Amino acid sequence: MVVEVEAGHTPGTTMPPDVPEQAAEPVADRAADRSAAPPAPRWWSHPDGPGGHGFRLAPDPGAPPPGPSDRPSAVVPIRPSAPRDGRAAGSRAPRSTLHQSVRIAVGAVVAVLCAGLLGGCIGALVQGTRQGGRITLQSASEAPVPRSPGTTASIVRAVLPGVVYLSVSASGTMTTGTGIVLDGAGHILTNNHVVAPLGSAGRTTVTFSTGQRHPAALVGRDVGSDLAVLQVKGVSGLHPLALGSADRIEVGDPVVAIGAPFGLQGTVTSGIVSARDRPLTSGGTNSGAGLAYLDALQTDAPINPGNSGGPLLDAAGTVVGVNTAIRSADSDSSDPFGVTDDSGSIGLGFAIPVDQAMRVAEQLINTGHAGHTVLGATVDLTYQGGAEVTAVAGQGGADPALRPGDVVVALDGGPVTSGDDLAALVRGRAPGATVVLTVLRDGRTRELPVPLHSTRRDDGANTV
């Protein structure tokens, strides 16, 4: 601060106690030309100094213009007098320094935040550029929670790499299904109606649990059993699934189904075995895939379109069946495979027993074709209440046990209500086995042991 002392004013004149020294300056002196003022002291806080635009006072319009005698003879910079409260005259400097320190601190914080934000943006940009413009978020790694053997989670964790998902393009349509990895050579078991939905095989692409995709070639397919085998070549690290036996399955045993219902890959459902030896006819004249006879396992594990060809697993994680068909609430009874958009699970699912599936798969892998197990008889498909035999073919010249007119009402104790039932139950058995047929002949019930054999001929739906 610069205090101008008027010429003729005696320094040390007592000022009013409540009026600052600056208030005693005459107006004319305040309007004096400040061009002759000396440089501002170093402790001046305003950047414009005492002559800056923010501190120039307008001249008093009522005051006469200053004359030569009115100019101060000297301009003496002095320090302000000490405040009355005894504080040091320089006490205002620390306040300015404090304000300046606060501003510096705030500026530093803002600078650090901006630098962090800028660095994060640059890092994200570099990471995104490395990945073709996409950013991969890394989740925190967590150790897997221990699971007891036999739980659904432990089963799924072990078998999921051995389940594959199929996309088939055939005759201008696209269908999906599921497959089971059989061996390290790349053989995959699935349903015939998956690879040939309209009767002819299409181009199949396999998607593994890792998300990798690979084309597959058809090894062979069998309409009568609704089974097919594919193969992927040049793929390492395959995880074949362990195969069990449906013969050890009891009604009520827990099972797990894995597949891609409606394209939702890796879907897991669970339930129980609802029935065994359930004769089932799939396909038919309205299905391009053809007619199949199945001696099926029934389960209430939810199975939907897209589950076809996937595994049905027991509590040990071994395959006991190949999920194939459902009974849905859809009124369209011509869709036993459940592939229409309106169909869905109502708890009635069916799987081909793995024993039958593997017999067919081995033949398809070794020869490209599969034979059927038969009795060597012809039945009337319109007859109700059993399977009426209309003709019998002798095997090896031996006298056949069955005769025309016999009505088969049971096989190995299981009921037979139609010719389709008999065909399904017979094809579920292995060739060379002997079954016990319960027949009605001449009004009497007889138990007849009948050997089974294999044939590659398909003489029609009424041949068993």
Active-site amino acid positions: 193, 226, 308
Q: Is 98 left (phi over 0), alpha (psi -120 to 50) or beta?
A: alpha
Q: CA nearest 187: which of 245, 157, 228, 147?
A: 228
Contact between 83 and 90 (Cβ < 8 Å): no
Question: 335: which residues sit within 8 A by CB, 6+ positions away?
Answer: 286, 287, 328, 343
| CA 20 and chain centroid, separation | 80
Count other C-beta atoms under 10 Å from residue 83's C-beta.
11
Helix, strand, or coil here: 390? strand
- The residue written with tokens 């002095």 in the block is 78
| Interatomic CA distance for residues 399 and 63, integer angstroms | 151
DSSP annotation of 259: E
Give the span between the Cα atoms of 290 and 282, in whole angstroms.
8
Residue type at 104? Answer: I
d(CA 179, CA 310): 5
DSSP characters over 125-150: HHHHHHTTT--PPPPPP-PPPP--TT
Fill in the amino acid letter for 139: S
Judging by beta carbons within 10 Å of its beta carbon (0-12, 13-18, 19+), is residue 251 exposed, middle or buried? exposed
